[in-house]
Amino acid sequence: MITTTDLTKVYRSRDREVTALDGVSLHVRPGEVFGVIGRSGAGKSTLIRCLNLLERPTSGTVTVDGVDLTALGGRGHRARRPLRQARARIGMIFQHFNLLSSRTVKGNVELPLEILGLGRRERSRKALELLDLVGLADKAKAYPAQLSGGQKQRVGIARALAGDPKVLLSDEATSALDPETTRSVLGLLRDLNRQLGLTILLITHEMDVVKTVCDSAALMAEGRIVESGAVSELLATPGSRLAHELFPVGGPQGAAGRTTVDLTFHGATAGDPVVSRLARTHGIDVSIVGAALDTVGGHQVGRMRIELPGTFEDNVLAIGFLREQGLTVELPAQAGLPGQGAPPPDGAPPPPPASGRTAAAGRAGEAGEAGEGAETVGAEGAEGGAA
Ligand SMILES: Nc1ncnc2c1ncn2[C@@H]1O[C@H](COP(=O)(O)OP(=O)(O)O)[C@@H](O)[C@H]1O
Ligand SMILES: [Mg+2]
């Protein structure tokens, strides 16, 4: 639904250049909620503004719903019309809502309908319908100043849906809201995604947002996509930075003479008594040093950190057994053994730009290399995850 190829954006001013996007290739499938996460300054807002051509990319292409937006436009009123039409099919919501304080709630939703050229009665009908959709039918006559933050964002969402868009872009739409309101706005976005088949790309710096609503996610840093993929695939990818940030496993690691193993249970494996089976079939005393259960992307996922007596070599069979059970098995860096994949520290040389959804799987081995040169274990882990 949204595809960018090798998108770059360089801001030039008199005395300096800022490369805000550095070769971003992104693919968002129809009907999915796709989260882009990254720290402040990573280039997230620039990316989203380039997606609807509010900002013209320096190079690369943007295709939305089969239309190459970068090929449209140019100078002059006439030339811009196809671009304006294509843009009407892309809704956008903002952190600070951008409502007009002098207009009522209904008046705000009617604004894009005026621009689209609808008549007065049609506008009124459509605006009320949209307000009903976002649960604000009773606030039509109120002014923005009379609304809570969550209600203002609902008006923003109703306004964004005025052109019957297929795609909704959201730039930190919940960052100004408290946690409970955030949950309700995210719930609304999820409902709209399901009811209308709306494809949503949302930008956030909060992992919780990704965890709550996203089917897929990409991690951005310094204008590049560092990692991307379906959330479920990422969780099954040893060494995935996103997976670790989405769902960290706690507990100490690396006691001498013991082997620390991180297990991720997902899908069919979630309810399996794997650890007791391991203890039974291999006669090993397993210590559980950390564990957590959580819902990620609507699915139950479990993480567990266990310790096995002996070195890695002593435990090769047991680790093989765990992999055969369909778990994602990772070996964090530990005493006397090169770890496979602590996430590379910030400031490590950036990995090559990721393209497409296989990126995460490809990166798993690299993360190990970038970390502490654990090719063997890292590569093995990556295979285990892919199997
Ligand atoms: N209009 C602009 N002119 C010059 N530099 C800009 C402009 N907009 C953004 N930047 C720079 O581009 C980089 C990425 O910014 P931005 O896309 O806003 O990041 P994010 O949304 O991830 O915080 C930053 O270094 C920022 O200072
Ligand atoms: Mg931003």
What pLDDT sits at residue 345? 41
Nearest to 261 by CA among 232, 324, 296, 303: 303
Nearest-angstrom CA–CA distance, 100 and 367: 47
Q: Is the pLDDT of residue 346 over 70?
A: no
pLDDT tens for residues 221-269? 999 999 999 988 888 787 888 888 887 777 776 677 889 998 888 777 6
Q: Which of 109-118, 257-266, 339-348, 362-371 shows the lowest mean pLDDT across its residues?
A: 362-371
Ligand 1 within 6 A of 46 CB?
yes
Nearest to 44 by CA among 200, 204, 167: 204
User: Where are the CATH 3.40.50.300 domain residues in the chain?
Assistant: 2-233
Q: Is the pLDDT of residue 383 over 60?
A: no
Ligand 1 atom showing the smallest separation from residue 48 Cα? 17
More confident residue, 161 or 351: 161
Confirm if 24 and 49 have CB atoms less than 8 A apart: no
What pLDDT sits at residue 75? 59
Confirm if 220 and 210 have CB atoms less than 8 A apart: no
Ligand 1 atom showing the smallest separation from residue 171 Cα? 21
More confident residue, 120 or 345: 120
**How would residue 334 be classed by pLDDT, with cut points 50, 70 and 90?**
low
Quote the ligand 2 centre to 187 CA distance (angstroms): 22
What pLDDT sits at residue 254? 66
Annotation: CATH topology of 234-386: Alpha-Beta Plaits (3.30.70)
Ligand 1 within 6 A of 241 CB?
no
What pLDDT sits at residue 236? 78
> Which residue minimizes the CA distance to atom 18 of ligand 1?
45
- CATH superfamily of the domain spanning 2-233: P-loop containing nucleotide triphosphate hydrolases (3.40.50.300)
* Whether this model's pTM surpasses 0.85: no
Ligand 1 within 6 A of 20 CB?
yes
> Which residue minimizes the CA distance to atom 14 of ligand 1?
43
pLDDT more than 90, % of the chain: 50
> Which residue minimizes the CA distance to atom 6 of ligand 1?
11
Q: Which of 10-19, 215-224, 237-246 shows the lowest mean pLDDT across its residues?
A: 237-246
In terms of Cβ atoms closer than 10 Å to its own Cβ (0-12, 13-18, 19+), residue 111 is middle
User: Where are the CATH 3.30.70.260 domain residues in the chain?
Assistant: 234-386
